[in-house]
């Protein structure tokens, strides 16, 4: 389960930023996770308690914003929603596309005290 290592990476980022701000606790963390990122949100939620145990995030409220996939066709410039990286353009059926949104995995905000 690579979501545990992802959760541990998020903890490391959050604690580093809290230390910079000389915070003693983190009250909430907001994450952005794209549907094309390869992260299973249910698995991340399952691994979260293990990753945050005895850290500044142990009592923090976790908020996850899901970013839907969006692509632009290289052949016809059509923008369209994608659920999978291999989805073709619905207008011209080309598989050549640029992913505009949906691959995100970021810590968007921390509320510290």
List the domain boundaries for the chain.
2-112
pLDDT, tens only, 56-104? 999 999 999 999 999 999 999 999 999 999 999 999 999 999 999 999 9
pLDDT, tens only, 26-54? 999 999 999 999 999 999 999 999 999 99
Task: Give which of 7, 65, 55 is closest to 33, Cα–Cα.
Answer: 65
This prediction's pTM: 0.88
Domain 2-112, architecture per CATH = 2-Layer Sandwich (3.30)
Say if CB 88 and CB 95 are below 8 A apart: yes
Beta bridge partners of 32: 65, 106
């Amino acid at each position: 389960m690579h979501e545990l290592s992802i959760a541990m990476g998020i903890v490391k980022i959050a604690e580093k930023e809290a230390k910079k701000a000389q915070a003693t606790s983190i009250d909430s963390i907001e994450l952005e996770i794209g549907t094309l990122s390869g992260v299973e949100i249910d698995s991340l939620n399952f691994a979260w308690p293990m990753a945050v145990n005895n850290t500044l995030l142990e009592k923090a409220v976790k908020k996850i914003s899901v970013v839907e996939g969006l692509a632009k066709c290289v052949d016809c410039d059509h923008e369209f929603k994608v659920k999978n990286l291999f989805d073709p353009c619905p207008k011209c059926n080309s598989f050549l596309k640029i992913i505009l949104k949906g691959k995100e995995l970021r810590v968007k905000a921390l509320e510290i005290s």
